[in-house]
Structure 1
Amino acid sequence: MIEVELGRCVAGWCSGATGVANCARLSGGASQETWSFDIVHPDGTIGAILRRAPSGYGAAPERAAGLNAEAVLMQRAYDAGVPSPRVLHVLQPRDDLGTGFIMQRVEGETIPRKILRDEKFARARLMLARQLGETLAAIHGLALSQLPELRRMTAAKEIAELERDYRGFDWPRPVFELALRWLRDHDPGAPKEMTLVHGDFRHGNLIIGPDGLRAVLDWELAHIGDPMEDLGWICVNSWRFGEIDKPVGGFGSREELFAGYQKAGRHVDPKRVTFWEVMGTLRWGVMCCGMMQRFRSGPEHSVERAMIGRRASETEIDLLRLLAPRA
């Protein structure tokens, strides 16, 4: 059914297209779907990705920017030379496909285990940390006046939201209490500059090839805030997948990340980065607890949710390691 709908949609904006083929659902959730397909065209097949919330689904989660805003952000990034897929079409009511957009498919790998272990990515691993620093500098340099309306976040608001979510589980965890106290005591206040923040810059949202970074995906948590938040999030131990001696994604050092960022003329505040690394570690821990709560109380006892939920204990160890010399 969706192949017919996509074919009709594509014919309306892709001149010469004769249909679509190889439709395959890549992922899904309660409200969003991602599909891969090929646009059949006399000049050659065009690989494409559809991200959508089908008609009839509710609003995006509170923290999400929304698919329409995500499409604008990705196109602004692409136009500015940031590695980002090119947006081909934003869904319209006449398309009868819901809310979302179609973007050009970028070939590469997103699975951390392969990126960190396979020989084909050996050269890429040597340059990735600097590349990510350069890319974050470009993202943070995008003109706010050219962006859609986004949430404005501060450290204090982040702490309050985390505490609210954590308390809502009614599942006391002493290490989380310690981390919340530390964050309140070390709130660095407003940054010198508020910028676009990607919000989820990490493995899984980065397409990697043998030549390094090819595209940044999933801008749905983008907001306006402290640019050091993105640098801290990519350093969270959970995204190192066992390579704990390489803080940036399990493949590089903070110094390499910072060097790439500063190469673009932007300033790094290491203390703020550390603050956001602690915040990010606690955030992931709270998110893991949420997964476990949904596994326990939801109608669907997803094994995947239980597996993610148990990782809350890993974040407790990470927080103790982070805070031991600083508490």
Structure 2
Amino acid sequence: MIEADLGRCVAGFYPGASGVAGAAKLSGGASQETWTFDIVHPSGNVGAILRRAPPGYGASPSRAAGLDAEATLMQLAFDAGLPSPRVLHVLKEEEGLGRGFIMARVEGETIARKILRDEEFAKARPLLARQLGKVAAGIHSLPQAKLPKLRSMTSTQEIADLGREYRSFDRPRPVFELALRWLADHDPGASREVTLVHGDFRHGNLIIGPDGVRAVLDWELAHLGDPMEDLGWICVNSWRFGEIDKPVGGFGSREDLFAGYEEAGRKVVPDRVMFWEVMGTLRWGIMCCGMMQRFRSGPDHSMERAMIGRRASETEIDLLRLLAPRA
């Protein structure tokens, strides 16, 4: 069914296309789907990806930028020379595919354990932290005048939001209480510079090849805020997958990340990065608690939710390691 709808859609925007082939669903969350397929064309098939909220689904969650905004941001990044897929088409209501967009497929790997362990990526691993510093700098330099409408977020707002969400579970965790108090006591306040923030700059949202970073994906949580947030988030221990001594994604050092960022002409504020690393660690812990809460009380008792939920205890260890030298 979706191949027929995609075929009609593609024929309308891709000159010479005769249809699509090989449509396969890659993932599906509560409200969004990702499909891979080939655009069939006389000069050779073209790899493409559909990211959509199918017909009948409501609005995006309040923190989400929205699919139209995601498409705009990805195209702005592509036009600026950043590693980003090219957006081929934004869906129209009359096409019957829901809300979303079609982008060119970028070949590479997103699974962290393969990136960190497979020989194929051995030469890329030492380069990734510096490359990602440059990419983050490019994202933070995108001109605000061209950005779609996005929510704004400050550190003070984030602390308050996390506190409310944590307390809604009514399951006390002393380490989370400690982290919330530490964040409130060390809140740096509004950043002197407000930029575009990717919001989920980490493994799983990066396509990596043997040559390094090929694309940044999933701009769903993009917003305006402190650019140091992205640098802190990619240093959260949960994204190191066991390579605890390599703070940036399990493959590199903060020094290389910061060097790449500053080589691209932007300034790192290390204390703010550390603040956001603590914030990000707590945020992930609270997200894990939310998964466990939904497993316990909701209709979806999937093992995946339970497995993610148990990782809240790992973030408690991470928080204690971060805060012990600073208590």
The normalised TM-score by structure 1 is 0.99
Q: Which letter maps to 1:197?
A: V
d(CA) in 1 for partners of 2:59 and 2:232? 29
What SS does the aligned partner of 2:278 have?
Answer: helix
After superposition, give the CA deviation of every residue in 1:276-309 in whole Å (9 maximum; x if it has no partner): 0000000000000000001111112110010000
Q: Which letter maps to 1:78?
A: F
1:281 aligns with 2:281: yes
1:268 aligns with 2:271: no
Q: Which letter maps to 1:133?
A: G
1:251 counterpart residue number? 251
CA positional deviation for 1:41? 0.3
2:320 counterpart residue number? 320
d(CA) in 2 for partners of 1:183 and 1:281? 11
CA positional deviation for 1:177? 0.2
2:29 counterpart residue number? 29
Runs of 4+ in structure 1 over 6 Å off: none
Q: How does 1:73-92 map to 2 (within 5 A)?
A: 73-92=73-92
Q: Which letter maps to 2:157?
A: K
1:55 counterpart residue number? 55
1:226 counterpart residue number? 226
d(CA) in 1 for partners of 2:315 and 2:62? 24
What SS does the aligned partner of 1:47 have?
Answer: strand
1:162 counterpart residue number? 162
1:114 aligns with 2:95: no
d(CA) in 2 for partners of 1:207 and 1:160? 33
Unaligned stretches of 5+ residues in structure 2: none
After superposition, give the CA deviation of every residue in 1:238-275 in whole Å (9 maximum; x if it has no partner): 00000000000000000000000000110000000000
d(CA) in 1 for partners of 2:302 and 2:168? 21
Q: Which letter maps to 2:325?
A: P
Unaligned stretches of 5+ residues in structure 1: none
After superposition, give the CA deviation of every residue in 1:78-103 in whole Å (9 maximum; x if it has no partner): 00011000000000012110000000
After superposition, give the CA deviation of every residue in 1:187-209 in whole Å (9 maximum; x if it has no partner): 00111210000000000000000
What SS does the aligned partner of 1:219 have?
Answer: coil
d(CA) in 1 for partners of 2:298 and 2:39? 39
The normalised TM-score by structure 2 is 0.99
What SS does the aligned partner of 2:122 have?
Answer: helix
d(CA) in 2 for partners of 1:204 and 1:50? 17
1:291 counterpart residue number? 291
1:209 counterpart residue number? 209
State the Cα RMSD in Å.
0.5
1:103 counterpart residue number? 103
